[in-house]
Amino acid sequence: MERLQYFREGELRVVNEAVSIAEEMTSNAYKMSSAEWGRHRYDIKTLADLTPKEVVDGPFAQIIRYVGRKPQTSLSSSGYDFYKICLQDHTILATLKKTAELRLFAFALYIVTHELIHVVRFTKFLQAFDASATEKIIEEARVHEKTQAILRPAGISGMDAVFDFYRAWQGPLDDLKEMV
């Protein structure tokens, strides 16, 4: 089995900065106060902190839904959804290596913003986590559209290359959206 590549210390600093900005921009886009944003139960982890079942080959990140419970509670009604955004360092780094125009900060900002939009949509019941395969594909198109709407006005260096990279998602997914 191939040894997976992890973010190095400097790359982790860049990803952490992208996470902070993604959280701020996403909460602003959904007009959520700090208190309201804090009620979203999620965490963002890189490869070093993932279990083997949270590591995937292909996507840049995945969201896993867990059911959380406060200590000392056994009733199922006391459970809550907890979303773990699992960044796939190895896939992100391999793509950066193959696509010279992409820069880690802009790429990570796009990926994390995209995943945070999913979390917001799940927690606000705008999208079911357990949707059909077709609906998940259509949801991806919606979330890519919203991600670009949030990030485009910010004029972030390197983001145009990220938009170009994701342009391939627009055509086929737009066709699917129109079919439903």
How many of the other CB atoms lie within 10 Å of CB of 65? 14
Q: How far is 129 from 121, CA to CA, in rounded Å?
A: 9
Within-domain flag for 52: no
The residue whose two tokens read 């342009």 is 167
Q: Has residue 171 got a pLDDT over 60? A: no
Q: How far is 14 from 7, CA to CA, in rounded Å?
A: 10
Which residues form the domain of 103? 9-42+97-179
Within-domain flag for 135: yes
**DSSP 8-state assignment for residue 127:** S
Q: How far is 136 from 138, CA to CA, in rounded Å?
A: 5
Within-domain flag for 60: no
Q: Has residue 81 got a pLDDT over 90? A: no
Within-domain flag for 120: yes
Within-domain flag for 137: yes
Q: Has residue 1 got a pLDDT over 70? A: no
CA 86 to chain centre: 8
Give residue-wise pLDDT tens across range 156-168. Answer: 999 999 999 998 6
Within-domain flag for 158: yes
Within-domain flag for 37: yes
Give residue-wise pLDDT tens across range 42-66. Answer: 999 999 999 999 999 889 999 998 8
- Reported in sequence order, the residue ranges of 4-147 that DSSP labels E, i.e. its strands, are 42-45, 61-68, 80-87
**Section 167-177 average pLDDT:** 58
Between 144 and 67, the higher pLDDT residue: 144
Give residue-wise pLDDT tens across range 107-164. Answer: 999 999 999 999 998 887 766 566 667 777 878 888 999 999 999 999 999 999 999 9
pLDDT at 172: 53
Mean per-residue pLDDT of the chain:
85
Within-domain flag for 112: yes
Q: Has residue 175 got a pLDDT over 80? A: no
Domains held by the chain: number:
1
- Identify which of 13, 2, 1 has the alpha carbon closest to the alpha carbon of residue 46: 13
pLDDT bracket for residue 179 (50, 70, 90)? very low
